Chain A
Amino acid sequence: MIPLTYYLILSSIVFTIGLYGIMSQRNGVRLLMSVELMLNSANINLVAFSSYNDDMSGQVFTLFSIALAAAEAVIGFAILLSIFRMRNMINIDDINILRW
């Protein structure tokens, strides 16, 4: 059986990649992908803990969070789409009418 720590290390690596992606990427779709990575790292945690604690509620939580992540992506793409219709690009660096 794979020790719990391995799962936690995996999830922290995935989480860090996602966080780095949010900080560094400027393309809207890549940002969404980074957010998904972060959510999924939490899902890995939940399932691993659920399996090691012998408690089902973590896995049920994961099902909920997968569904919510899908809904979130839909809203995100809808917003990106309306930006694309207006400006023909989704580089979020250029979206800067509102500042200070």
Chain B
Amino acid sequence: MTNYMLLAPELILTLVALTTMMVGLFIGKNKTILGYFASIGLVAALSLTVSSLNANETLFYGTLTIDALSQFFKIVFISVSLLVTIASIKYTENDQNADSFFTLLLFSTIGMMVVASANDLVTLFVGFELASLSTYALAGFDKKDPKSIEAAMKYFIIGSLSSALMLFGISFVYGMTGTTSIPGIAENAGALVGSPVGLIAVVMLIAGFGFKMALVPFHMWAPDTYQGAPTVVSALLAAGSKKMGFVAAFRVFVVALAVLSPTWQTAFAILAVITMTLGNVVAISQTSVKRMLAYSSVAQAGYIAMAFAVMTPMAFAGGILYTLSHAFMKTGAFLVVAVVGYMVLSDNKNAKDIDHIDNFKGLSKRMPFTAFAMMVFVFALSGIPPTAGYISKFVLFSSTIEAGLVWLAVIAILNSAISLYYYARVVKYMYFLPAIGGKVSEPAPYAIALILALAGVLVIGIWPEPFVYWAMEAAKVLI
């Protein structure tokens, strides 16, 4: 007997998404209420996921598994989606298509959740595509804006290329092991060791997931898409959709293809090093804050990818904890950019380059709370205590040193030092440069989303024990 309670978060979100879509057709111009409805659905899904935190079961003939890892990532995805939904209530105000926006947002969340608990490559692929297809449409949501359309175009082409590569890799894995079930592949993966087909499969899968995770050299789409897409959607992409790549890679590489680890461990070590270095170095020269955050997000993916190279339980716990902290820090930072964009547009309706760093000048005078939140987020991203970023970097880097990969940890720490430069520059613009224009108060939805993200960053930073313990529980599923 299938325990449907374990699947309740997904079922509730599906119902809410379909209802949002249908109701949106019949209510008139003001569709704000749908945003509140979607937020309530997400809160319900979040509490149901929290209530089944210690579950460990497989459902539907072993195609879905509910375990500590899946619940952890589901909470990451639902939290990001909740923050984005709350902020979007303001963003989609007076928008005719708000109903489609929230429906797509919910569907992409469901896709990510399915990937998190996938126990079969078919489920994994379908969930992956559900999330990707919804986010392609979301990236181009502002269809009057050439930048948004361009972002969607680039994201779509690279994204569909990555799913094709992934499917090709999966087809070889299936052919050699004779099954699509992830535990089944783990049993039969011996057939792939030492064979050229196994190598091709690993390369294709790394490329396929690497595009989603935006590891260098598969990152070209990420800065363009994050910059061009509506800022709330960039938050979802950077904090949610990227984590989906990581959880899929955890399931496929660490669980299913563990015997091939000598092949992919080195590959991930190299990718991690070039990803964090290129991300941080290129971020220094950016003038658009959104693009800077995009490159910083590329760099952060490099840190998380270190977990694959180290392959100890503690490193996985660090990587998993990093995804949670990164979700709050990055969503928060992108939402701050969205608030600043709102401020600039309310000054001047036809403003260009609303994400330019000049717009952050004197933000501490114009919007003290937003400026403070941004300061916390960027310091968390660079890893300064007492924030979530510091704790996750500490766990991850110390486990790297423990495992004997000192060179990798040194490169990562040097990179964190480089990153401090461009993060501190934002703080300088906000606090030490004179303001242009008067005080503006934040719209309530943005303020609530920022408070929640801020709470997440600070709670994990000040009281890390339960979160580290929880991440270690999740990592036990892997090793």
What's the nearest-Cβ distance from chain A to residue B237, in Å? 14
Known: A64-B126, A92-B153. A42 touches B133 (CB 8 A): no
Contact residues in A for B170 (Cβ distance below 8 Å): 42, 61
Q: Which residue of A55, A60, A76, A86 is within 8 Å of B160 (Cβ)?
A: A76
A46–B146 touching, CB < 8 Å? no
A residues 1-57 touching B (CB-CB < 8 Å): 11, 15, 18, 22, 28, 31-32, 35, 38-39, 41-43, 45-46, 48-50, 52-53, 55, 57
Q: Is B404 an interface residue (CB 8 A)?
A: no
Chain A: interface size category: 35 or more
Q: Is B456 an interface residue (CB 8 A)?
A: no
Contact residues in B for A31 (Cβ distance below 8 Å): 157
For chain B, the count of residues having a C-beta within 8 Å of the partner chain is: 39
Interface of A is mostly: helix
Known: A49-B175, A72-B160, A72-B163. A97 touches B168 (CB 8 A): no
Contact residues in B for A87 (Cβ distance below 8 Å): 146
What's the nearest-Cβ distance from chain B to residue A12, in Å? 9
Q: Which residue of A11, A15, A58 is within 8 Å of B174 (Cβ)?
A: A58
Q: Which residue of B122, B137, B228 is within 8 Å of A78 (Cβ)?
A: B137
Contact residues in B for A53 (Cβ distance below 8 Å): 175, 178
A55–B168 touching, CB < 8 Å? no
A residues 59-76 touching B (CB-CB < 8 Å): 60-61, 64-65, 68, 71-72, 75-76
B122–A61 touching, CB < 8 Å? yes
A45–B168 touching, CB < 8 Å? yes
Q: Which residues of A contact B (CB under 8 A)?
A: 11, 15, 18, 22, 28, 31-32, 35, 38-39, 41-43, 45-46, 48-50, 52-53, 55, 57-58, 60-61, 64-65, 68, 71-72, 75-76, 78-80, 82-83, 86-87, 92, 95-99
List 12 contacting pairs A-B, 8 Å CB cutoff, sorted by A: A22-B157, A42-B170, A43-B167, A58-B174, A60-B122, A61-B125, A76-B160, A82-B149, A83-B153, A87-B146, A92-B157, A98-B151
